[in-house]
Amino acid sequence: MTKLFSKQLSSQQPLAAKIFETAIANNKLAKSYMLAGHANDDKWQLVSQLTAYLNCANINSKTDSSCLISETDMETGNWCTNCRWIQTDKHPQALIRLNGENSKSGKIGVEQARAFAEEVSKTSPYFRVMVIENAHQEILHRPAANALLKTIEEPRSKILMVFFAQVSNDVLPTIVSRCQTINIASNQYKECLSLSSPNTSDQLLLAKHSDTPQLKNLTASLEKFTSQGSKLTDAIDLTECIQSSIKEGFELDEILDFLITKDLLCLDNICASEREARYAKELFLLGQIAKEQSRHYVSDKALVETFIFAWHKLKQTGINPLKLQR
């Protein structure tokens, strides 16, 4: 498969890497993505390595990796101009950011959003990736978001919109519904993952804990839960297993990222088929709802139960039962 990302990044963000690589391999890149999670550095790395891949002049029959991940040095290696510019954040067109830094309120101004939309409507020889650095609604508020909607809905070809958010629930639904959301693994999880080999991404475990009985139980429990013909009792088992992991000192966010990542990495053709893309999106959303609730002092027990039973329902019916209530 085409290699878009560095080994290190692929091991830190296996799911995001797999989703983008599958999309490119199948020529099914979505028009807009939302990268949801706290690891901002990883989001930037994903975006710049992807942008480099889409614009690199050195990609040819001999190599299908951009200069950025060619393992040569920018100064000494034979890097193309596009990759040099992208690496030093100086590319005038391929990678464009929109943020609220220049306004007093910190919000993205309506005029600014309009100018951005206008920029996008021009033709360009480059594949342009437009990054909205913080899509939370206090930054990307409704009037500014409205100025972007047409661009999101009818983008020109060779344009990719990427919205960054910590939690997708803080983003206006009009934006979320138009994006494919990708969960960015949290930092604690990242530390654990970076210890595991990047080449075994479909057998990822929290390497640091991989020998602990607790993680073995969790993995076994997940496998039963996600197997064909799993029963309600498997859901109850998994719920209990998560709760005892929390008692053992595992972070809830870490467990949720682990379970979701592991389940989605098992899909053969992740996000290439509409059904899988929808499943992934709804499962991310369930994870986000649970994480958000945990910050509002909902008890772990209650939210784990809600999460698992909603997941069970989603697997059976393809419908996210929590979405209906929101």
Q: Exposed e or buried b for every residue in 297-309, given b needs 16+ CB within 10 A?
A: eeeeeebbbbbbb
- Cα angle, residue 167 at apex, residues 277 and 86 outer, rounded to 5°: 75
- Integer CA distances (angstroms), 99 to 193, 256, 303, in order: 30, 30, 34
Q: Rule CB under 5 A: which residues touch Zn ion?
A: 56, 58, 66-67, 80, 83
The nearer residue to Zn ion, 56 or 140, going by C-beta atoms, is: 56
CB of 21 to Zn ion, least distance (A): 18
- Cβ contact 132:140 at 8 Å: yes
- Cβ contact 165:133 at 8 Å: no
CB of 16 to Zn ion, least distance (A): 21
- Cβ contact 174:140 at 8 Å: no
The nearer residue to Zn ion, 15 or 50, going by C-beta atoms, is: 50
The nearer residue to Zn ion, 53 or 258, going by C-beta atoms, is: 53
Could you write out the DSSP letters of every residue in 210-240?
TTSHHHHHHHHHHHHHHSTT--HHHHHHHHH
* Of the candidates 54, 53, 60, 69, the residue with the CA atom closest to the CA atom of residue 11: 69
CB of 90 to Zn ion, least distance (A): 14
- Cα angle, residue 36 at apex, residues 301 and 147 outer, rounded to 5°: 130
CB of 126 to Zn ion, least distance (A): 12
The residues, any chain, with a CB within 8 Å of residue 238's CB and separated by 6 or more, are: 221, 222, 224, 225, 308
The nearer residue to Zn ion, 91 or 312, going by C-beta atoms, is: 91
CB of 82 to Zn ion, least distance (A): 6
Strands 159-165 and 95-98: unpaired
The nearer residue to Zn ion, 94 or 131, going by C-beta atoms, is: 94
The nearer residue to Zn ion, 86 or 144, going by C-beta atoms, is: 86
CB of 20 to Zn ion, least distance (A): 17
CB of 80 to Zn ion, least distance (A): 3
The nearer residue to Zn ion, 86 or 286, going by C-beta atoms, is: 86
